[in-house]
Structure 1
Amino acid sequence: MSTANTQGATDAAAANPRPELPIIDVDDDASDSTFGDESDASAYSASVTSSILNYEYANGRRYTGYKKGEYLLPNDETEQDRLDLLHHVFLLLLDGKLFRAPIGPNPQRALDLGTGTGLWALDFGDEYPSAQAIGVDLSPIQPTWVAPNVKFYVDDIETDWAYSRDEPFDLIHSRQIGGSIGDWKKLLGQCMEHLKPGGWLELQEPEAWMSSDDDTMERATASTEYQILCNDAAKKFGKEINVAHKFKQMLIDAGFEDVREEIYKVPIGPWAKDPKLKEVGRYFLEHALLGVEAYAFGFIGKVLGWTHAECQVLSAKVKAEFRDRKNHMYIKTYFVSGRKPS
C-alpha cells in the first residue's frame, strides 16, 4: 500500500511522484496448475422483481431497461454475484472497514453512488444506526427489506441530483463506477454541492488494467488483448473505465482539500505468499471470472462490433490465463478521498 496526502492544488504541484508499490511475493509451494473451474461463488444479495420493470436481454444476459444504452454491463444474478464478491474483497483489503476517509464518529447522512446490490449502504446503516444511508443506481437490484435508516432509489447519477441541499451528506461514496461516467467534472461538482462543509468524498476504484511484477503479462497475450480492447471501447463509448489513477488530480481540480490516495495491489488468484493477499486473491479471482464476459459483451461486443462467438472465444482464453498458477497478475485498486472546504 502507498499513501499520499495533499493540501490543494499548490501542494499537489510540488508533490513527489507516487512511490513504487512493493512486489508481491509468489507462493511457490502451491501444487495445482490451475486455480479451479468455473466460478460457482454464492451470492447473498436479493434481487428485486416487479411487473413494471422493463429489462433488456442480450447474449444470454439481462440488462437494465432504464436509460437504455447508457450502461453497458448486465444486472442479472451473475452480475450481482460479482458485485457482492467485490464488496467482500474490499472489506478484506480494508480489514473490515467500509472507507478510509476520516469522517468522524457520528455521521448523519451518507450517499452511495452506483450502489449495485446495496451492500455498502446496508453495512454503513448497520455500523451507524443513527445515520441515514442512501444508495442510488440505475438498476433496482437491492434488497426490498432493509433497515429503516437505509433507502434505495433508482436514478441516474449523471443527471442533476434531486437531493435537497438543505440535507447535505457527511460522506459520499462510490465503488467501481468507471465506464459509467461521461462527465466526471459534473459528477464531482455535484458531490461538492451536496456535501456538508468538512464532509468527505471517497472514490474506490480498481484500475481497469492488469499488471505483473514478472513476465506474466508478456505471456498472457489474451488478457493483454482483452484489456486493450476494453479500454479502447470505453473511450469510444465516451465513458473511460481506466480512470482510477486520475482521481487524485480530479479531486484537487474540483476544489477538494486534504486529498488522500491509497493504492493496493490485488492479486488475481491465490498465488501470493502473504496470507492476507492470498485470501484476497482467492475471492478476487472469482470476481474477475464472473466479469470477463460481462465486459467483453458490453464493451468489445456492443461498442467495437465483435460477434457473440468472438467475445466468447476471447473470454475463454482470458479466464484460462486467470486460472493458470504460473500467471501472477494483479490489479491496482485506488482509494481516493477529499474533504469539502469548511
Structure 2
Amino acid sequence: MLPETLIRLLEVGDDYPEAEIIGLDLSPIQPEYVPPNVHFTVDDVEADWLHAPNSVDYVHVRNMAPALKDWPRLLSQAYRALKPGGWFEMQDLVFDFLCDDGTVTETYKPREAMRYLTEALATFDVDVNIARNFAGYLESAGFTNQIHDMRKVPVGTWPKDPDLSAIGDYCRAVNYDSLGAITNLPFTRGLGWSRLRVEVFLIEVRKDLLNNSFHPYHYYHSYSSQKPLQQKE
C-alpha cells in the first residue's frame, strides 16, 4: 500500500501533466509506475537545496514537524528557490488530544504520550508543535499574502456525522499504526526509557485509542504564503 502523501503526489502529476513534479524523501519511495512528469529524489530537505534561484512555482511540506530542526533555514531555502509569486504550503497537526465534552482528561494515555513526545523531541531541538505559531516564521522569511486554515480532526468513530466518523476512523488508524515509529527513538534516547517500558506504555495508549467512550480530536493547521512578485531592494 502506498503512503497517502505519495498517492497525492501521483494524483497531482496526473491532474497537471504540463507541470514537473519532484518528490523528495530520505528513503527511495518511488513506485514502479509513475506519471512521466513525476520524479523522485532521495535527499535531506534540511541539506543544501540544489534548485536554482527563482526556479520553482510551489513548495509543499506536510507532516514534517517531528523531523525538522531548523525551519528558518528551510524557509530561507524555499524562498530562494521559489519564483516571484510562487507559493509555499505547510500542513501539520498539533500533537495533542483535545475534546469538547470532558471525556478526555490529563490521564488519557494518548494525550500523555504526546506530552512525553513533545518533551523527548525537545531534547533534539525539535519543536513538534511548530504548527501553532508557524505564521511568524513565514513572515520572518519574507513571505506575504498568508492564508491560515485550522480545523478539528476527530480521532475515532465517535462523531455522529458519517463523513467526520470516517475521517476519525482513518485518523485513529494513522495514530495507532505510527505510535511505535514516532516514539521508540525519542523515548529511548531523549527520555532514557528502556524499549520494554516504551512497549508496555504503548499498550495502554493503544487501548485508550480504541475506546470510543473518549471523544478526542486534533487541530490540523494549513499555512499558505507567497513570495512577493517584487523583491525589496
Fold conserved (TM > 0.5)?
A: yes
Amino acid at match of 1:257: T
**Any gaps of 5 or more consecutive residues in structure 1?**
1-42, 46-82, 88-117
1:248 — aligned with what? Answer: 135
Q: Secondary structure at the match of 2:78?
A: helix
**2:68 matched residue in structure 1:** 181
**Cα pair 2:106 2:112 within 8 Å, conserved:** no
| Alignment partners' CA distance in 2, 1:276 and 1:262 | 19
**Counterpart among 315, 323, 331 of residue 202 in structure 2:** 315
The residue that corresponds to 1:152 in the other structure is 40
| 1:245-288 deviation digits (Å, cap 9, x = unpaired) | 12122111211111010011111111112222111111111111
SS at the partner of 1:204?
strand
Within a 5 Å distance, the mapping from 1:6-85 to structure 2 comes to 43=1, 45=2, 83-84=3-4
* Cα distance in 2, alignment partners of residues 120 and 237 from structure 1: 30
Whole-angstrom CA distance in 2 between matches of 1:302 and 1:147: 41
- 2: CA distance between counterparts of 1:144 and 1:183? 33
Deviations 1:109-154 (CA, angstroms, capped at 9, x unpaired): xxxxxxxxx3232121111011010011111123133111000001
Larger proportion of helix? 2
Answering whether residue 102 of structure 2 is matched by residue 215 of structure 1, we say: yes
Give the Cα separation in 2 of the matches to 1:262 and 1:276.
19
Distance change in 2, residues 1:219/1:159 (3 Å): closer
2:163 is the alignment partner of 1:276:
yes
Note if 1:299 corresponds to 2:197: no
Question: 1:159 Cα deviation (Å)?
Answer: 1.2
Point out where structure 2 has 5 or more consecutive residues left out of the alignment.
Answer: none
TM-score for the superposition, normalised by structure 1: 0.64
Among candidates 139, 143, 168, match of residue 27 of structure 2? 139
RMSD: 1.4
Shift of residue 295 of structure 1?
A: 1.7
User: In the alignment, which residue of structure 2 is the partner of 1:110?
Assistant: none
Give 1:257's match in structure 2, choosing from 144, 149, 162. 144
Helix, strand or coil at the partner of 1:261: strand
* 1:109-148 mapped onto 2 (5 Å cutoff): 118-148=6-36
Q: Aligned residues, how many?
A: 229
